[in-house]
């Protein structure tokens, strides 16, 4: 049976020592978010994930969701666990206190999301979709809509979805056919079919609030003619002064998908037949509101990839320390045993350290990006909010794509450590691989993220977003170039950073002449950028760890491991940037110089 232990010390290290979030939160006026409170929240979240939802992960995968006569039932134990999750206030952790939330920083949502994803990715889908619906309504809904829906979503007694995809359109939502016809009373009658709707139907909550993209009869063609609507499963009504779920609306689950992974998460076909809905925001501006959900969801999916890599690593490490096979190349290490633990073997270590260095570096990067959400929302200086928004926009496609690609690779590498035993269901390693695979596809497939990066984010505001990353990195290199001891990390990193800048210029120049040049370079460029970004986090972590060791910290093993892991990443993983650089510089011709019939 797989296990999970929340990485509390690593969260503390990144939040308190590296990012120093306490100072940032105090500056932003988030005075309740004290280090002591945040520490208590992390510990309690870890206990809940370890004790309540992780034990349901393997059984949930085995049982899956069931569908009968339009009713979806989640696996045994999920409803009870969800009720505890809701009662513990975890659904509304970062929601506005005005609607019953705890008002904690968004950064803490990423901490919780990682632990939930690591312990039970399928379970995390249900409150995760609700968080997206909450955010869209809070930013784009009318005050009446906020008052009606946000308290219920915050409490978790109602849940949410996002209904975008249709059989004929996924990424290209301009092909959308779902129709919304004005009913004459301020509401709309909505008809159409949506597919791949996560948490579209289930038995965890009293009501499900669907956010549905649809087109009005006289709407312009393409994405400029799409509007966003609230379509509840049950129409809200007032009863004894309380809002409750009333009559059944015309939105029903037609079937659920039988999937490779996340089997305890219901993925539904939703049929709308004159369902009653209400417009959110302006008509024909639905994509703007929906992207509020999608961008938050993309960061959430990135964290899923990270969480799955973490739990896969933990279980592979336990196995590598316990499993004995062969002797170390330099001679027997466990002379009292018939063979040595496989962790003595270089290639096993390579697998483990590749995952470890990704997980810890990505955690720091993910929390740094999440912190920009809090700065964007709470900073009083408009320039500071603008800078946070720029960095968030730039980094979102990078973390979504790379964390999920590398998360899948990490789960696969961790499974390799198990050998044949990793292929056996009850050991859990193969489930992590299957669950991780979807993260590379949904919320915008990773190739789309790469196109978004080179096509939209790089040229945005004349390259201003890029400067939000390049300038801090250049300053860090300049500030530390005189530290001879730090040079073994800084110098090779500076070379990779220089290559990233060179590749950026190449894409900007060539892409103006031929868009295929930018498209062909997009995926290797995104991976190159991600490696440099994670490397930057490792430099910052190594600097802090070295300072702690110099101060005589009694946690020499912890900080010493950080320095060693930074060295591993900089010397063994970061050099991949050279391969990506060469691929970029080879241009588009090797890809595009084929006729279709030559494939």
Catalytic site residues? 443
Residue 575: both structure tokens together = 């050099």
What whole-number distance in Å separates Cα of residue 129 and Cα of residue 65? 17
Question: Does residue 242 sit in helix, strand or coil?
Answer: strand
Strands 66-68 vs 234-239: parallel, antiparallel or unpaired: unpaired
Distance CA 310, CA 113 (A): 12
- Do the Cβ atoms of 442 and 196 come closer than 8 Å? yes
Contact 279, 140 (CB under 8 A): no
Q: Are 321 and 349 in contact (CB under 8 A)?
A: no
CA distance 382 to 317: 46
Q: Which residues are CB-contacts of 49 (< 8 A; sequence separation ≥ 6)?
A: 4, 6, 115, 116, 118, 119, 120
Query: C-alpha 447: how far from its chain's center?
Result: 16
Extract the tokens encoding 213.
Answer: 């993209």
> CB under 8 Å, gap of 24 or more: what pairs does 44-47 form?
44/88, 45/6, 45/90, 45/111, 45/112, 45/115, 46/5, 46/6, 46/8, 46/115, 47/6
- The whole-angstrom distance between residue 129's C-alpha and the CA centroid of its chain comes to 12
**Cα–Cα distance for residue pair 225/194, rounded to 1 Å:** 18
Nearest alpha-carbon partner for 274 in 251, 254, 255: 251
Q: Which of 418, 182, 410, 206 is nearest to 310 (CA)?
A: 410
Look-up of token digits 């945005």: 460
Q: How far apart are CA 91 and CA 560, in angstroms?
A: 37
> Which tokens in the block code for residue 42?
């992390």
CA-based nearest residue to 458, from 516, 496, 401, 503: 503
Find out whether 253 and 194 touch, Cβ atoms under 8 Å.
no
Report strand pairing: 207-214 vs 227-232.
Answer: antiparallel
Residue 579 backbone dihedrals phi, psi, to 5 degrees: -65, -45
Q: How far apart are CA 416 and CA 351, in angstroms?
A: 8
Burial of residue 221, with CB atoms counted within 10 A of its CB: 0-12 exposed, 13-18 middle, 19 or more buried: exposed
The rounded distance, in Å, linking the Cα atoms of 339 and 356 is 25
Q: What is the 3-state secondary structure (H, E, C) of 109-150?
A: HHHHHHHHHHHHHHHHHHHHHHHHHHHHHHHHCCHHHHHHHH
Tokens of 156: 């978790």
The token duo for 155 is 């409490």
């Amino acid at each position: 049976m797989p296990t999970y232990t929340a990485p509390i010390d690593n969260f503390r290290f990144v939040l308190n020592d590296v990012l120093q979030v306490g100072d940032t939160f105090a500056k932003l006026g988030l005075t309740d978010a004290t280090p002591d409170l945040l520490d208590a929240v992390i510990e309690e979240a870890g206990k809940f994930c370890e004790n309540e939802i992780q034990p349901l992960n393997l059984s949930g995968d085995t049982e899956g969701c069931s569908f009968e006569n339009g009713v979806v039932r989640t696996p045994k134990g999920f409803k009870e666990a969800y009720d505890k999750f809701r009662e513990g206030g975890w659904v509304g952790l970062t929601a506005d206190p005005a609607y019953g939330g705890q008002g904690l920083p968004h950064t803490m949502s990423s901490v919780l999301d990682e632990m939930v994803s690591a312990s039970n990715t399928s379970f995390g889908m249900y409150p995760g979709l609700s968080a997206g619906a909450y955010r869209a309504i809070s930013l784009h809904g009318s005050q009446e809509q906020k008052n009606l829906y946000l308290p219920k979503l915050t409490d978790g007694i109602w849940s949410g979805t996002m209904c975008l995809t249709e059989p004929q359109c996924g990424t290209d939502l301009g092909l959308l056919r779902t129709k919304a016809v004005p009913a004459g009373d301020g509401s709309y009658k909505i008809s159409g079919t949506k597919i791949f709707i996560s948490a579209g139907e289930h038995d965890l909550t009293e009501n499900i609030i669907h956010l549905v993209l649809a087109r009005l009869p006289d709407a312009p063609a393409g994405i400029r003619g799409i509007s966003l609507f609230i379509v509840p499963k049950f129409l809200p009504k007032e009863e004894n002064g309380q809002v409750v779920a009333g009559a059944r609306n015309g939105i029903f689950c037609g079937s659920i998908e039988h999937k490779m992974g996340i089997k305890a998460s219901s993925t539904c076909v939703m049929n709308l037949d004159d369902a009653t809905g209400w417009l959110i925001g302006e008509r024909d501006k639905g994509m703007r509101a929906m992207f509020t959900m999608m961008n938050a969801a993309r960061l959430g999916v990135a964290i899923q990839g990270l969480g799955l890599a973490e739990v896969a690593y933990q279980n592979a490490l336990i196995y590598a320390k316990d499993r004995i096979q062969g002797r170390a190349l330099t001679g027997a290490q466990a002379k009292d045993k018939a063979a040595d633990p496989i962790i003595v073997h270089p290639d096993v270590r390579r697998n483990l350290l590749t995952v470890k260095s990704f997980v810890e570096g990505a955690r720091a990067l993910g929390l740094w990006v999440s912190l920009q959400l809090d700065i964007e929302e709470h900073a009083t200086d408009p320039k500071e909010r603008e800078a946070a928004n720029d960095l968030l926009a730039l980094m979102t496609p990078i973390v979504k794509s790379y964390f999920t690609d590398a998360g899948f690779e990490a789960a696969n590498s961790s499974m390799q450590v198990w050998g044949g035993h990793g292929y056996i269901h009850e050991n859990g390693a193969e489930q992590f691989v299957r669950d991780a695979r979807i993260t590379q596809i949904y919320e915008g497939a990773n190739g789309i993220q790469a196109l978004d990066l080179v096509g939209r984010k790089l040229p945005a505001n004349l390259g201003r977003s890029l400067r939000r990353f390049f300038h801090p990195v250049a300053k860090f290199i300049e500030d530390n170039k005189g530290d001879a001891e730090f040079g073994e990390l800084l110098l090779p990193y500076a070379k990779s950073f220089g290559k990233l800048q060179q590749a950026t210029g190449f894409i900007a120049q060539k892409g103006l002449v031929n868009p295929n040049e930018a498209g062909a370079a997009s995926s290797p460029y995104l991976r190159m950028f991600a490696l440099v970004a994670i490397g930057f986090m490792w430099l910052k972590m190594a600097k802090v760890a070295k300072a702690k060791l110099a101060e005589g910290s009694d946690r020499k093993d912890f900080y010493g491991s950080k320095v060693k892991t930074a060295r591993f990443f900089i010397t063994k993983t970061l050099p991949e940037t050279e391969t990506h650089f060469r691929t970029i510089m080879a241009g588009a011709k090797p890809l595009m110089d084929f006729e279709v019939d030559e494939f």
